[in-house]
Amino acid sequence: MIDYLIVGNGLAGISFSEIALQNNKTILVFDNNSQPSSRIAGGLYNPVVLKRFSEVWKAKEQLDFAFPLYHQIEKKLQVIFDYKIPILRKLASIEEQNNWFQAADKPNLAPFLNPNLVHKKYQNIESSFHYGLVNETGYLDINTLILSYSEYLLSIDALSQETFDYNAIQFFETHISYKGIQAKHIIFAEGFGLHANPFFNDLPLDGTKGELLIIKAPKLNLDVVIKSSVFILPIGNDLYKVGATYDWKDKTNIPTEEGKHELIEKLREIISCDFEILQHFGGVRPTVKDRRPLVGTHPNHKQLHVLNGLGTRGVMLGPFLANQLFQHIENDIPLDKEIDIIRCYKKNRN
């Protein structure tokens, strides 16, 4: 009998798989590459909401759990996908400078916001009001993580690339059966694909489309991330990721001319040098209306669980939430009320 069938091999699925394996559980992962949001994500992580200079929910707990796990995976797979890099928030006015100083004074934000502004002049970027420096930041090369982890799962015979068939689940008192496979639990970590899941498609997963460019800009010479109306992330060889857009209506993964135009316009407001667009991506982020993840156990089928709604902060949230769900299933430790899907079913009943 397998302990866990895991549907989805993005940030959420990989995090749960690794925690299960480290706890000597057996797993079988299903992933048919149908949901690209993890793979095309910017991969940036930072513990602060830079629009409002406010703390990300449980930022310190997320960081403290996520990065030891990622480094264990790097060591196991003998790859590097975590890159530490400073994020500089380009300040647009005296008012924004004052807001930065006020935020950096707050005890919960002091570890993350440097109180001294960065006055460095970056080539081809005008910054009259300087930059705020965020601590404990970087980016994950998520594509490398997913490809490497998929190869590892194949090597231990723990990955199926077939499309998961919800109708093939048979329920028993202590387990489920799926096409002849007996398993104690199923974890659904499908991202926006949750909409096709008949067991959890009543959850308020909204989905926000994001588009991203990869540009070549030899005259930019950046060794930091610049965050303004868009982010500019150096990835080596004069290449930069530029993102991202937010579209709440379009639920497709197809890049659009509108998205491209928006990114180019915002980029030109920040940099004054020429650039060449090499690639253009689109994907739907698994966002939730109340801005909290969807984690928990099905109200009628105790063997079915969901790990979803990571939104724009999957790098930090994925491991933290996966561990909460694992501890909930294995050790009956209650989930944080803000993430537990019980909140959604309670709303539906009211």
pLDDT by residue (tens digit) across 311-345?
A: 888 999 999 999 999 999 999 999 999 999 999 98
Q: How many CA atoms lie within 13 A of 6 on its CB side?
A: 31
Which domains, ranges and CATH numbers included, belong to the chain?
A: 2-48+142-205+289-349 (3.50.50.60), 84-136+206-285 (3.30.9.10)
- 53 close to 152: Cβ distance less than 8 angstroms: no
Q: What is the pLDDT of residues 37-95, one digit of tens each?
A: 555 677 999 999 998 899 899 999 999 999 999 999 999 999 999 999 999 999 999 99
Judge contact between 67 and 81, C-beta under 8 A.
Answer: no
Q: How far apart are CA 308 and CA 318, in angstroms?
A: 9
Per-residue confidence (pLDDT) for residue 312, from 0 to 100: 84
* 87 vs 152: CA distance, rounded Å: 32
What's the confidence (pLDDT) of residue 65? 97
Q: What is the pLDDT at residue 155?
A: 97
- pTM reported for the whole predicted model: 0.94
- Single out the residue of 12, 8, 101, 41 nearest to residue 233, CA to CA: 41
Q: What's the confidence (pLDDT) of residue 39?
A: 55
pLDDT, one tens digit for every residue, the chain (350 residues): 999 999 999 999 999 999 999 999 999 999 987 766 555 677 999 999 998 899 899 999 999 999 999 999 999 999 999 999 999 999 999 999 999 999 999 999 999 999 999 999 999 999 999 999 999 999 999 999 999 999 999 999 999 999 999 999 999 999 999 999 999 999 999 999 999 999 999 999 988 999 999 999 999 999 999 999 999 999 999 999 999 999 989 988 899 999 999 999 999 999 999 999 999 999 898 999 888 999 999 999 999 999 999 988 899 999 999 999 999 999 999 999 999 999 998 665 44
pLDDT at 37: 54
Residue 85, token pair as written in the block: 């890099």
Of 124, 276, 305, 292, the C-alpha closest to 213 is 276
pLDDT of residue 349: 45
Whole-number Å distance between alpha carbons of 55 and 107: 11
| pLDDT for the residue numbered 42 | 79
Q: Helices H, strands E: what count in the chain?
A: 8, 20
Rounded Cα distance between 266 and 270, Å, is: 7
